[in-house]
Structure 1
Amino acid sequence: MLAVLLGCAAAYLARNWMLAMASPPPPSGTIVVAATALGFGTVLNSDNLNEIPWPHGALPDGAFATKNELLKDGRRALLAPLARSEAVLKSKVTGPGQRASLSALLDQNQRAVTVRVDDVRGVAGFVLPGDRVDVVLIRTVERQNSRPENVSEVLLQHIKVLAVDQLVNERQEAPTVAKAVTLEVTTEQAQKVLLATNIGKLSLILRQSGAGDPTAVRPVSEDDLGAGKEVPVASVATPIPASLPATAPAPTVVEVIRSMKIERYNVIRAQ
């Protein structure tokens, strides 16, 4: 009887232990999420936020455990759109009392500069906020032979796009033909961009998502396209008459060059 009782007790304890290992512990904390879909610039308050259960001590970096923790120091606004039930993170909201402006999107020691584009130089509208681009300068330079030549140079690489016109929504999916693109740059890079706008034309090259660091790129000139090489021009000869009077002197051929085009003429000396 004692052995039977001990066996039943062991089976009961083993069953409880297996159930405890199979089922995760119930959440003992909360996390703040969006109560509904919220757009850029939305001012956060108790009505558009929710607290849902979340395991204590397992909050994502930058998350808020309670609404009071999020709103205690003053009003905050969204810097990025949020879907329903998406967690509110510090990187997606302004500081206490700040408004949702472009300056709030800038990283530390960064500046914003705007480049004028069109449907071609703006990659047909497929450059959207959050993308990475290269900035290319196309200008005309004077060579040693005083012949003007067009040159294309990569001015900046791996630059983050902050806004397209007045659109800063990183979740925008439809292409938009814009007139201006705002880039996040350093102070020195901003100086280069502003100076380049007075020298030539600026165009954007869209980089692959997740592309690596900038690489060395040499300028490209017309010679690389073959446009600077002289193409031989076929000469046009004037046919020589089949027969001349017996008393006429032999004709002399005169070559005349006009704009790299050679023309030949038969000239008879005067007696």
Structure 2
Amino acid sequence: MGQVEARSAPGAQHAADERPSEPALIEAAHVTAGYDNRREHTRLIALRDVSLQVRRGEFLAIVGPSGCGKTTFINLIAGFVKPLEGSVRVRGEEVTGPGADRAMVFQDYALLPWRTVERNIRFAMENRRGHVPKAEQAERAARALRLVGLTGFEKSYPHELSGGMRQRVGIARALVTEPEILLMDEPFGAVDAMTREAMQAELEKIIAETRQTVVFITHSIDEAILLADRIVVISKRPGTIREVIDVDLPRPRFDEQSDVQRSPRFGEIRSHLWSLLADEALGAKQEGATR
């Protein structure tokens, strides 16, 4: 498939048309990716012929049925896996491995239990190329903790924190390296509904301050609409881009006065997304039943 143009849900205005044209920060060109099963001598294709551009400073959400290749796509950007065909480029340079300009926030907390909150955050700087002086490490860790609302918990250990607080540490650990690109793989999937909503609001504030480019995977339609500038809908495996939708809703979206979730436009986008994802989920289920 060629380059996918952004399309909005019915009745939308194209927010992308109002922005000045500039080179994409991230570009995937005709990417096919998969995994080899050496024992059975088979290959599973996760993504097929995917082309997508991500603008600098954009918050891009990716949604799709389980197993459609969402995590594979974000791992391609991170440099954890390489495409079988096509290329992934950042600032025009092909991604050949992890880099300091990208940081990942995983669904599980992935914290070191024997380290305090502050030392978990500093761990990210300890494993980067180039020495960061201890004074600067402390300053950057303090700023990251302030951004995620954990000032005062520097000396706590992971087992002393709630699930939401542990995930905040994971986000702070990604922020402390000051990456240009923040990659988030269902970061709020393991927390309860109330904590999830609070963290969504906090993330919007953080990104408004840091102005980072975000690629965000989620299974939640509402979460994607509330956080993203654009939403990419991936088909069932092998994943292809079914549609790219502009989210033309005002920010901030977690302001009680704006009440975005009650707006007619939110409902239109949600209904459109639901119809796309219901089709894909049903297709995947029927395909599985025939095997």
Q: Give the number of the structure whose residues are more often strand, by fraction.
A: 1
Q: Give the number of the structure whose residues are more often helix, by fraction.
A: 2
Structure ID, larger Rg: 1
Higher relative contact order (CA 8 A, sep 6+): 2
